[in-house]
Amino acid sequence: MAWDHTTNPVITRNRLRFSSPDAVYEALEQYGAYLRENQFRLGDEDLEQALAGRNAPLIDLALAKNARSHSLVAQLYKRALAGSGDADYDRAIRLNCLSNRGVMGALYSKELIDPQSPAVNEGHRLALEGDEEELAILMSNPGIRGFLAAVYTRKDWLQDIPDERWRLLVLKSVGNPAINRDDTDSRNPDLLAWDLRKALRGLLGSAPAQPDWVLTLHQLLLELSPPRVWGFDSEQAVIDILERWKGITVKSEFGDREHEGYFTPQPIAEEFRCLVAALYGSVLVDKKLVSVGKPDSDDVALRCAYYGNSAKTVEEMKAAYEKDGDIFTFGALFNNSVMLEPACRAELEAHLTRDTDWLRKKRYKQLQAEHDWFDPRPVSELLEIADTGAAESAVQENPELRALASQMTDLKTQIAGLSKVLVWGLIVILAILVFWRR
């Protein structure tokens, strides 16, 4: 059931004042979902305060997650931090507060500032001392774009954070949809989105070029939709970044051997360079985006820059696949000019493996989020059969498939007949054995 925003709020408020805690909890879940879907709508602070006044633990749990009032969320968090005598419940309240889209307003509010050290707030403490569960919820919260940008740039109070703690914060942000959010319209740019994109790009130049960071940034960049990339200013800047991450050896967690790539035959460190190149491998030249790499570049990462950023014909795609196989497929999956051209998509789909098909589905979801008209179903016939269950109609339309289906039917009939013979033979043998034992 959806939140009823058409009824007079006075009526809704008083209905919920006298409803059971279970009913109020469900209503607040609907209220929170409505506010998350309509992020620019104001919350009903009178309703929130009235329900907080009931002092019901279940209602407070729902308010922690769904209230729009920063002050109320901060009060609930502070009370749980101080302790109520029920440590498990207090933790649940805090975790729900951290999942609240407006949590940064609460964590930076006056209620949670240390009077002995005004520059330190609960957001700082969590970044420095929070446990992994707290960080997982906080860093995956879509409402913390400004905080994410601060973490990625490691600025101000984060400058002195240990490298491994910094990496943990970045790792826990993997999957946060905030990196792809952009509320820019014809009148107003979304400056927060721009700051976050620049901060994400900056990680490639500031994060330690070490094995653990290769794995962390590989995961993070897989979530980045290509249109949300903030590109580099020059071809040399791209080349410098690719050189920075060159020659790193990442050991597999299963024995003393090099970690393989997830989508290509390359080692994971080289696959990461290919990912960076496919996303960031174009620069603006004379108001046109130009690929940094070429199809005959010696460095595989530069070839991926070409695969991920240049428009291609089907013939060019065939030649690229013949040269680089899954490396080409991987790079091209980040190329929107390929993804949005049905003939090119069909050619790309014909070369997918199980792993690259997983990435294909992720990319199609991103494209659908960017373009309402984009159809995420596969273009090529075989994948369409697998995805839509249209096998029967495809068999009827394809003479070769009809012949194969007929052969399969005959084979099934023969197997069924053989099964009957075997069953009756077994029955006869059992009967003979029984008679003999007598």
Q: How many CA within 13 A on the CB side of residue 69?
A: 18
Residues 287 and 305 occupy one common structural domain: yes
> Which residue from 170, 177, 161 is spatially nearest to 200, judged by alpha carbons?
170
Q: What are phi and psi of 284, to 5 degrees?
A: -85, 120
Q: How many CA within 13 A on the CB side of residue 408?
A: 7
Read off the pLDDT of residues 139-151 as tens digits, 9 standing for 90 and up. Answer: 999 999 999 999 9
Q: Is residue 89 part of a domain?
A: no
**23 Cβ neighbours under 8 A, 6+ residues apart:** 16
Of the residues 374, 389, 404, the one at which a domain ends: 389
Q: Is residue 105 part of a domain?
A: no
Residues 361 and 430 occupy one common structural domain: no
Read off the pLDDT of residues 95-137 as tens digits, 9 standing for 90 and up. Answer: 999 999 999 888 888 888 777 665 567 888 899 999 999 999 9
Residues 282 and 427 occupy one common structural domain: no
Q: Is residue 292 part of a domain?
A: yes
Residues 335 and 431 occupy one common structural domain: no
Q: Is 310 exposed, middle or buried (0-12, 13-18, 19+ CB in 10 A)?
A: buried
Residues 323 and 413 occupy one common structural domain: no
Q: Is residue 397 part of a domain?
A: yes
Read off the pLDDT of residues 376-417 as tens digits, 9 standing for 90 and up. Answer: 989 876 555 556 554 444 444 455 544 544 555 455 555 555
Overall domain count for the chain? 2
Dist. CA 381–CA 401, nearest whole Å: 12
Least confidently predicted of 61-65, 232-236, 408-412: 408-412
Read off the pLDDT of residues 294-315 as tens digits, 9 standing for 90 and up. Answer: 999 999 999 999 999 999 999 9
Where are the strands (E) in 210-318, listed by range?
Answer: 282-285, 288-291
Could you tell me the maximum CA-CA distance found in the chain, to the nearest angstrom?
99
Residues 371 and 431 occupy one common structural domain: no
**185 Cβ neighbours under 8 A, 6+ residues apart:** none
DSSP designation for 357: H
Dist. CA 189–CA 195, nearest whole Å: 11
Mean pLDDT, the chain, rounded, equals: 88
In three-state secondary structure terms, 102 is coil
Return the pLDDT at 413. Answer: 54
Q: Is residue 68 part of a domain?
A: no
Phi-psi region of 208 (alpha: psi -120 to 50; beta: other; left: phi over 0): beta
Q: Is residue 203 part of a domain?
A: no
Containing domain of residue 423, as a range? 393-438
Residues 380 and 422 occupy one common structural domain: no
Q: Is residue 176 part of a domain?
A: no
Full-model pTM: 0.83
Residues 290 and 398 occupy one common structural domain: no
Residues 366 and 427 occupy one common structural domain: no
Residues 251 and 380 occupy one common structural domain: yes
C-alpha distances out from residue 52 to 31, 45, 130, 332, Å: 15, 10, 27, 53
Q: Is residue 125 part of a domain?
A: no
Residues 356 and 383 occupy one common structural domain: yes
In three-state secondary structure terms, 385 is helix
Residues 235 and 383 occupy one common structural domain: yes
